[in-house]
Homo-oligomer: A and B are copies of this chain.
Amino acid sequence: MPELRKDPVLGRWVIIATERAKRPSDFEVVREESDSASCAFCEGHESETPPEVYAVRETGTGANEPGWEVRVIPNKYPALDVEGQLDREGVGLCDMANGIGVHEVIVETPAHDQQTSDLSAEHIGKVMMTYRQRIVDLREDERLKYVLIFKNQGRSAGASLQHAHSQLIATPITPKRVKEKLDGAKRYFDYKHRCVFCDYIKQETELFGERLVAETTDFVALSPFAARFPFETWILPKRHMLDFSLVEDGEAADLGRMLKRVLSKLRKALNNPPFNYVLHMAPYRRPRGGYWTTIEDDYHWHVELIPRLTRVAGFEWGSGFYINPTPPEVAAQTLRETEA
């Protein structure tokens, strides 16, 4: 079973994936599978993956058969193990726990050679509804504290398979970055009695406009004021919503339109860059009272999208401080002016 270990100074958890222990020679091999004949994510290859946990399918087709549009399967090499209870123990002054959790793959299309931005807006909307289904379904598992849905596209963004897919990792602890975001939003709310994300959307759309990338009925896409990376882009729902489970069908469809537009702009403006996007929302377990009293009002889910154009180096690792050579206003203008 994988292990969860905590840094005794920073309180940062890591997953030590003990079962696939990498020895030095393993890092020589660059995995890149782009041959559709051998791709387990392709239609017709359903038996090569673990049994599906959910799929958007044509009526009349059965589980693990062709006829699907979006398909969710357990990761064949999961970072966390689905069986067991969370046991914590001390190792000298350090802390560890067994690595339980959920690791799933959302295969976005049966076709091998389509990137997300090649899919129709309607189809991307169905991928978004699939995200929502998984989030709602896994919430029932009391062991899970947080679910993170993310996408890596391109080798230098960490993708080892070319076929368009997203991933879901649900963890038995709330990750550090999430706690920091919640804390920041709560501090603002305690001071202002308003949601920092709602205020920020209002400021960027009504007061400034220079960092606006795109707008649909229900969403805005922005270059964040303190962007860490060139062309970093956030997508936020205009309606105040704590987490993704609250997204309505019409909003999921509109998010499909927004994602297609933003991904197409980035692809055209930046020559099809590798990228990551991450869905940020509130944790699953929110005890009543105390710290959590205002969370329905103070947090607001959103998507962070990072094209991988620059390399993170010693300064960033050491300081948590980023050097961004592209002002967000320049990035936003470029993306606004890119027809896609």
Contacts and interface: CB of A to CB of B under 8 A. Distances in A.
B180 A330 contact: no
Select the residue from A10, A151, A314 with max chain B CB neighbours within 10 A.
A314
B156 A20 contact: no
The prevalent SS among residues of A at the interface is: mixed
A95 to B, nearest CB: 9
A234 to B, nearest CB: 11
Interface string A184-209: 11001000000011011001000110
Contacts of A208: 92
A292 interface: no
Copies of this chain present: 2
B6 A226 contact: yes
A320 interface: yes
B156 A324 contact: no
B150 A314 contact: yes
A11 interface: yes
Given A148-B319, A200-B8, A327-B21, A225 B304 contact: no
B224 A321 contact: no
Nearest to A307: B27
A320 B226 contact: no
Interface stretch (A47-55, A115-123, A271-279): A271-279
Contact of A330 (B21, B176, B306): B21
A185 B321 CA distance: 20
B323 A17 contact: yes
Contacts of A24: 231, 269-271, 334
B91 A167 contact: no
B181 A9 contact: yes
B324 A15 contact: yes
Given A8-B184, A196-B93, A317-B306, A13 B226 contact: yes
A233 interface: no
A317 B278 contact: yes
Select the residue from A27, A197, A318 with max chain B CB neighbours within 10 A.
A318
Query: What 6 A-B pairs have minimum CB-CB distances, sorted nearest first?
Result: A158-B313, A150-B314, A278-B318, A177-B320, A175-B319, A276-B314
